[in-house]
Amino acid sequence: MEPHIPDEVEPQMLDRTARTRLRTLGKNNADLVARHLVMAGRLIDDEPETAYQHAQAAMRRAGRVDVVREALALTAYATGRYAEALRELRTVRRLSGIDAHRPMEADCERGLGRPERALAVVSETDPATLTEEDAAELAIVASGARADLGEHEAGLLVLESPLVDRVKQPELLRRLSLVRADRLEELGRTEEAAELREAAGPEPELDEPVLVLDLEELEVADEDAGAPTATAAETGTVETAAAQASPEDAETPREDAEGSAEQAHGEATTEEAAEAQAVPADAETAGSEGTPQRAGEDGTATAPEGVAAGDEDGDRL
C-alpha cells in the first residue's frame, strides 16, 4: 500500500529539471512518481520515515530513474539506513555517471562503525570537484572519523586543512568551529573549546526543509555544453495517490541494486555487486533495513535526523 499524498500536491511542484528525468515513464506514472518525490522532500526532516516510504513508492514505479534512486538514498540516510543509503548512492553513480554525495557516503561508512572506510572515501575524493558546502561536510566527517579512531589531534588538523580554506558561508564556518571545539575538548583544551562555542552562538532557526538532489549542479560543472541536466527534487504541496497508474502507463522498472559486502570492525576492503531484477510496476514491496544510530560529531552515535539539516553542533551531514 502506497503512502498517502494530500490532494493539493501536484507533479508541477517537483523541480522542472527533475521532472525531465521522468519523461521515460508514462504520463500517469510520471505524475504519481513526481508527487511521491515532492512528499519525500517535504517530510524528510520532520517525518523521515514517511519520506522514506514515499521514496520507496517512487522507486517501485521508476527504479531505473536516477533521481528516484537518489531520493531513496537520501531518505534512507535520513532514517539511519546507512547500508541501504550506500547501495543507492552507488546505484545513482552508475545510472547517472556523476560522482555525487561523497560526504554522505563517507558518513554512512562512519555510521556503520567503519571510520577507516570513511577516511578512504575522503581520500578518494577530488577536492576540485567539491562545492563549498561539500568541502565543509567532508572535513567534518573526516574529523569525526579520526576522533572515532582516537586520533583527536589528527581530527583537529583536518579542520585546518586546505579542504576548508575556501569555506566562507557563515553557517558552515559555525559548524566547523563547533566541531573544532569538540576536538579541542577531547584534547583537554577545554577553555579554548568553550571560547569557540561561545563565539559560535546559538543554532539559527532552519527554513522549511527541502530535499536537495544535486546531480544537476555536478553535471553542469562537469560538462561544457548544455547536456541533459540530472536533477533536483524540491518540496511543495501534493495530492492523494488514489489514482494508480494503469499497466500501460506504469514502467516495469528493473531495479539496480548494489550490495556491499560489509566487513565489521574496520576491515579494509569491501566488495559491491550490482544486480538487476524486474519488478512489476505496482506489485513490488521494498524491504527496509535496520535503523542504526547516526554518527555524531563527538565520535559517538546520535539519533538520526533529516538530510537537509545537520545535527546541532553535528559532526555529520
Residue-wise pLDDT tens for the chain (317 aa)? 889 999 999 999 999 989 999 999 999 999 999 999 999 999 999 999 999 999 999 999 999 999 999 999 999 999 999 999 999 999 999 988 888 899 999 999 999 999 999 999 999 998 888 999 999 999 999 999 999 999 999 999 999 888 888 899 999 999 999 999 999 999 999 999 999 999 887 776 655 545 555 554 444 444 444 444 333 333 333 333 333 333 333 343 333 433 333 333 333 333 343 333 333 333 333 333 333 334 444 443 333 333 333 333 445 55
Q: Residue 192 class from Cβ within 10 Å (0-12 exposed, 13-18 middle, 19+ buried)? A: middle
139 & 187 share domain: yes
Domain extent for 162: 99-200
Using an 8 Å Cβ cutoff, are 209 and 44 in contact? yes
Cell 572515501 identifies what position? 121
Using an 8 Å Cβ cutoff, are 301 and 127 in contact? no
Cell 546559538 identifies what position? 202
Q: Which of residues 40, 70, 98 is at a domain's end?
A: 98
Q: Count of alpha carbons within 13 Å of 103, Cβ hemisphere only?
A: 24
pLDDT value at residue 183: 95
143 & 113 share domain: yes
122 & 189 share domain: yes
157 & 67 share domain: no
